[in-house]
């Protein structure tokens, strides 16, 4: 059994209550460890430790903070294999993906914000009548970072790294569904020389410890990534406290494929955008709109590719599609497919749970699924499914495609596929999403603003945006005559 503990004051501590939750391996459906079911008492320990560390961490020269973050990145790289194995076991993602994407990106997050710590600057505004304003950018204090299960260490570090770089103490909570690599990060931070109390990692359920972190008066900002419903609830709770809040929420991402696209590139990338990580990436394509002239050819080729993708043991090097993260999530995704069938949709491929043999017999596997023939109002085109399920819909004009794409409560990301860059610019300008990728998907530059419009979130992460979120701006005006 793999039992993990909280990380408080650079120590791995059992929860004060001694209550634990099961940790289940999605590939086998079996309990393989336990995690603390943390509560107020654990949070208070973390707050006391953070208060002790706060001043010296905030006042540490940024170069020294930066050195510690670089050391954390290096240790993540040195432990890449062990972290990748843990991520794959905990989440069900293919080991190849954890090795090539999740863990390298966690290291990049620390490297990137190590540089930001030493280069972040503020503005000065000179006034004509002998006065000058300068802006101080001060750490917020103690901040809370809460992350989801789909890219566990990748998204956990995407929040923690900028918060630390800006001089804050952090109380972080990974998803209770995928706690393992977060717990390993604690040890790495300790080895890298992060001072005691600067980072606490508390495990447990959202409705208990997550909620307590959000509500705590000494925690001055919350950076949250997760579902839209959870984000909405947190926003209502925090509004009366006027707490700084960053929300990265769900998506229902359209892909617009024009007649003049590079067919091979588009098929390969849309296939990846649809099914990578079992379709459990907030940025995955979920509504694919294809211009009528190439619709049948595109459909045939995409279905053929999907048919060849079979879920298999995530631990196997060759596996391209692993397990769905949990049983409740698998049932949720199957529910959408069932209701699409009942609505008269055509399941072009997939749609069924997969039973693997031997120790994987109780794991959560689902065929990649492509659905055709649903109206844009159907829940499969409106609600986030967050699994290996996409819908295909033909369109005639570019205006029609933009209308269909924007007909959504969500506004996270979109992709556009065309060789005509004038059309691409025009469409990108009109799409109501925080991110538009043209002829590519998930091509990330960490300096760019990351986040969504509408019900996909509030605020932006990445680069300067994150450093600004994790600091308070203070204007100082000096009159010098
Ligand atoms: P979730 O909202 O259920 O949980 C996310 C995190 O919030 C978990 O750590 C959970 O324990 C915690 N939580 C739950 N209730 C809480 C509460 N009341 N107070 C405080 N914390 C609480 O989401 P999930 O199922 O873990 O993740 C999937 C969702 O995350 C999808 O909707 C996906 O689109 C979204 N997501 C968004 C982005 C983005 O950048 N926009 C990235 C990844 C995932």
DSSP-based three-state secondary structure for 338: helix
Atom of ligand 1 minimally distant from the CA of 229: 2
Q: Which of 46, 32, 44, 39 is nearest to 4 (CA)?
A: 32
Give the integer Cα–Cα distance in Å for 138 and 118: 14
| CB contact at 8 A, 251 and 285 | no
Q: Is 282 a catalytic residue?
A: yes
How confident is the model at residue 481, as a pLDDT?
A: 80
Q: Is 230 in the pocket of ligand 1 (CB under 6 A)?
A: yes
How confident is the model at residue 214, as a pLDDT?
A: 98
Ligand 1 centroid–CA 196 distance in Å is 28
Ligand 1 centroid–CA 232 distance in Å is 11
Q: Which of 248, 372, 461, 465 is catalytic?
A: 248
Q: Is 176 in the pocket of ligand 1 (CB under 6 A)?
A: yes
Q: Is 148 in the pocket of ligand 1 (CB under 6 A)?
A: yes
How confident is the model at residue 251, as a pLDDT?
A: 98
How confident is the model at residue 9, as a pLDDT?
A: 98
Ligand 1 centroid–CA 148 distance in Å is 4
Q: Is 444 in the pocket of ligand 1 (CB under 6 A)?
A: no
Q: Is 91 in the pocket of ligand 1 (CB under 6 A)?
A: no
- Tell me the per-residue pLDDT of 150-209, one tens digit each, with 9 for 90 and over: 999 999 999 999 999 999 999 999 999 999 999 999 999 999 999 999 999 999 999 999
How confident is the model at residue 12, as a pLDDT?
A: 97
Tell me the three-class secondary structure of 240-281, residue by residue.
HHCCEEEEECCCCEEEEECCCCCHHHHHHHHHHHHHHHHHCC
Ligand 1 centroid–CA 228 distance in Å is 8
Q: Which of 282, 380, 384, 465 is catalytic?
A: 282
Q: How many residues does the chain have?
A: 481
Ranges of the chain with pLDDT below 50: none
Give the integer Cα–Cα distance in Å for 287 and 161: 33
Q: Which of 454, 481, 451 is nearest to 466 (CA)?
A: 451
**Helices and strands in the chain: count of H runs, count of E runs:** 16, 25
If you take atom 43 of ligand 1, which residue's CA is the nearest one? 282
| CB contact at 8 A, 165 and 143 | no
Q: Which of 462, 461, 477, 14 is nearest to 248 (CA)?
A: 461
How confident is the model at residue 299, as a pLDDT?
A: 98
Q: Is 104 in the pocket of ligand 1 (CB under 6 A)?
A: no
Angle of helix 103-119 relative to helix 80-91, nearest 10 degrees, comes to: 120
Atom of ligand 1 minimally distant from the CA of 226: 30
**CA distances from residue 463 to 49, 131, 192, 254, 345 in whole angstroms, order as listed:** 28, 31, 23, 25, 43
Q: Is 248 a catalytic residue?
A: yes
- Ordered by where they begin, the domains of the chain are 2-249+456-479 (3.40.605.10), 253-447 (3.40.309.10)
| CB contact at 8 A, 469 and 221 | yes
């Amino acid at each position: 059994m793999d039992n993990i503990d909280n990380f408080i004051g650079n120590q791995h501590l059992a929860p004060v209550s001694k209550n634990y939750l099961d940790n289940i391996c999605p590939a086998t459906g079996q309990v393989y460890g336990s995690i603390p079911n943390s509560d107020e008492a654990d949070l208070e320990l973390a707050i006391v430790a953070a208060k002790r560390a706060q001043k010296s961490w905030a006042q540490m020269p940024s170069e020294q903070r930066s050195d510690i973050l670089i050391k954390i990145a290096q240790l993540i790289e040195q432990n890449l294999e062990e972290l990748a194995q843990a991520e794959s076991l905990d989440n069900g993602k293919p080991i190849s993906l954890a090795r090539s994407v999740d863990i390298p990106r966690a290291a990049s997050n620390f490297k990137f914000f190590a540089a930001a710590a030493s280069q972040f600057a503020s503005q000065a505004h000179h006034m004509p009548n002998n006065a000058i304003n300068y802006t101080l950018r001060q750490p917020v204090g103690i901040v809370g970072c809460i992350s989801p299960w789909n890219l566990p260490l990748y998204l956990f570090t995407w929040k923690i790294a900028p918060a630390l770089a800006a001089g804050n103490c952090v109380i972080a909570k990974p998803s209770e569904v995928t706690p393992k690599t977060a717990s390993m990060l604690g040890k790495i931070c300790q080895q890298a020389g992060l001072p005691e109390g600067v980072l606490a990692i508390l495990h447990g359920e959202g409705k208990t410890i997550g909620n307590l972190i959000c509500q705590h008066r000494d925690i001055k900002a919350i950076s949250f990534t997760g579902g839209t419903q959870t984000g909405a609830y947190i926003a209502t709770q925090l509004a009366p406290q006027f707490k700084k809040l960053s929300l990265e929420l769900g998506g229902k991402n359209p892909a617009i494929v024009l007649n003049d696209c590079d067919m091979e590139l588009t098929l390969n990338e849309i296939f990846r955008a649809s099914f990578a990580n079992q379709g459990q990436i907030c940025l995955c394509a979920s509504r694919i709109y294809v211009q009528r002239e190439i619709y049948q050819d595109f459909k045939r080729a995409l279905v053929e590719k999907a048919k060849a993708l079979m879920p298999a043991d995530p631990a196997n090097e060759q596996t391209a599609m692993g397990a769905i993260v949990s049983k409740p999530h698998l049932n949720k995704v199957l529910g959408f497919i069932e209701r699409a069938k009942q609505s008269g949709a055509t399941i072009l491929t997939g749609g069924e749970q997969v039973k693997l043999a031997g120790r994987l017999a109780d794991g959560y596997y689902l065929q990649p699924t492509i659905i055709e023939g649903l109206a844009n109002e159907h829940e499969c085109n409106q609600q986030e499914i967050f699994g290996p399920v996409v819908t295909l819909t033909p369109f005639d004009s570019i205006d029609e495609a933009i209308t269909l794409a924007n007909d959504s409560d969500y506004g996270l990301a979109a992709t556009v596929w065309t060789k005509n860059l004038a059309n691409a610019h025009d469409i990108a300008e009109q799409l109501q999403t925080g991110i538009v990728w043209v002829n590519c998907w998930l091509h990330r530059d960490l300096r760019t603003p990351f986040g969504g419009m509408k019900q996909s979130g509030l605020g932006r992460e990445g680069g300067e945006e994150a450093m600004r979120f994790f600091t308070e701006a203070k204007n100082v005006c000096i009159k010098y005559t």
